[in-house]
Structure 1
């Protein structure tokens, strides 16, 4: 069976990444590409690296006949996404890549995103899209909310440790570095080559990054009490990839054993031998996430390092993984591409 797919926001980085992945999917066909700002253009004009594919022309979202679509990926900015999704057919399966449906509490959404949620009826049915932990709910979901890429990176390192009670919940520091594509394709002065290259800098310092809301929500739910982590992201002069160095109070061998056991049967989550650490260059362009654990010179301290590609496992690859579950496909279909190296 071939499932008919629409992608909204197809002219952005995550939209292009979805097309790249779906091109290898034997059970999906892209029948509509929405991109209001570039409507009327061919995808080859917007992304020449996709010119070998036979794709529909970009159109305005209101020109798409959603009655002919089985599943829609929504790769639009937050706030825009909720306005569009609440008008889509109620029978349409949707995977949203924005932040609009990640937070269960509408007051938390308003606090972190600066405005009242405008599609609460959709929010109430949305399932959080961290696939390995919400797999059973995702299978029967109509609307899945993709995670933040930084939030996914930190959660893969920490969720099993919090669940198992092997670390001090009040002693968690996440020091994260991310590639520039995580900021999207819109023109921004601070992302110009002359502004960004040959340097790195911290941003959203002091607990202001919006992905902290996901950490608060998910970690507190696991622990059964409030958990707040320290989190500082840094922008790297690199196109893709996230690497997070996470400092915890716990026995390194126990931390490693807990993660290795939790992910032993997971296709895309690879826990390295104790003492080895991952690199973004080893997961580039793939849906794999590598996790390393090492000890610290201070007794009873462990360092967990996680690496994934923000556009793939952190966003579009995760979205396709979820869509596979929603449509009854094998979960890894279209996602077994090897990382690109060097």
Structure 2
């Protein structure tokens, strides 16, 4: 019997991506879809690319009968999931795509998101949703907090290196380019075609980007002492994709060997041959991550480059991995689709 899935916030980009993925899963069935402003409409009206699917109408969250639901995916804005999840049945399995349960420390949450955490009792239940590193905890979890897409990209490149002690922890620079869909579907002046196309710009400069909270939390936990990376994201005029170019101090061959060994059995993490580097176009629409390692001309300096699709592996594909683990399914089910090229 198929697992019954409810997707809250289905009118956004990550919600639509979740619908796309769940619709091809052999053991999952979408039984409820919610939206706020678009409640009462069909998914075909909101996302015509999904018109071939037989889907329930979009409704308000309060209209959903959760009694027959096996797992809820929350694709809601930051600071919304805390109240929504608090109102769900206390035994309901939840995969949350917002930032509301990513940071374990209440003070850290308030620092990075500008308001107090309102559901610390639920935070105690939440598991950080990076499946390659937390899958055992995720299998047993009731609430899983998917990572930020930028945070995921940097962590895939750096976690094994920090854990193995093969790089200088005080000399890490993450220069990241992110596609515009990472900013969501809401209308914003700076995301208009005339203002975004034919150029790109840095944002969150100087250590103010919220995903630094995740880097600080996770890297410091691995290292057993505080780790602060330099991180500058840039918005590029593309619909999908993240490419992170990361500069570290460490032997390039050792860095490559460490990553290749760490990910040898991971189905979605592909470490390229030494000296090759990835492109966002090679992971588009897929759950794969490509990681390349190149030695700098200066001895002891290494460049690690990671690419993933922010809407798939960076959010909804990760959510599907987590849901598979929580429901006892094979982790890769519904996710082995090849990238779309060109």
TM-score, reference length from structure 2:
1.00
Report the counterpart of residue 243 of structure 2 in structure 1. 243
Give 1:124's aligned residue: 124
Mapped pair 1:150 → 2:158: no
What secondary structure sits across from 2:305 in the alignment? strand
Aligned to 2:49: 49
Equivalence map 1:162-311=2 (5 Å): 162-311=162-311
Structure 2 partner of 1:13: 13
- Deviating beyond 4 angstroms after TM superposition, the runs of 4 or more aligned structure 1 residues are none
Q: What residue number does 2:329 align with? A: 329
Distance 1:203 1:38 in 2: 30
Per the TM alignment, residue 75 of structure 1 is displaced from its structure 2 partner at its CA by: 0.3
Q: Separation in 1 of the partners of 2:298 and 2:171?
A: 14
Displacement after TM superposition at 1:120 (Å): 0.9
Q: Does 2:32 correspond to 1:22? A: no
User: Structure 2: how far apart are the matches of 1:111 and 1:246?
Assistant: 25
Gaps of 5+ in 2: none
Pairwise CA RMSD of aligned residues? 0.4
Instruction: Give the secondary structure class of the aligned counterpart of 1:248.
Output: strand
Gaps spanning 5+ residues in structure 1: where? Answer: none
Describe the superposition over 1:126-155 as per-residue Cα deviations: whole angstroms up to 9, x where unpaired.
000000000000000000000000000000
Equivalent residue of 1:38, what SS?
A: coil
The secondary structure found in structure 2 opposite 1:36 is coil
Which residue of structure 2 aligns with residue 106 of structure 1?
A: 106
Provide the residue aligned with 1:139 in structure 2.
139
Partner of 1:33: 33
- CA distance in structure 2 between the partners assigned to 1:246 and 1:206 by the alignment: 16
Q: Can you list the C-alpha shifts for 1:99-133, whole angstroms capped at 9, x where unaligned?
A: 00000001100011000011111111100000000
Deviations 1:228-269 (A, max 9, x none): 000000000000000000000000000000000000000000
Aligned length: 342
Task: Tell me the distance in 2 between the aligned counterparts of 1:101 and 1:151.
Answer: 14
Equivalent residue, structure 2, for 1:313:
313
Give the Cα–Cα distance (whole angstroms) in 2 for the partners of residues 284 and 139 of structure 1.
Answer: 28
User: What is the TM-score with the length of structure 1 in the denominator?
Assistant: 1.00
Task: State how far apart, in whole Å, the 1-side matches of 2:159 and 2:229 are.
Answer: 12
The offset of 1:36, in angstroms, is 1.7
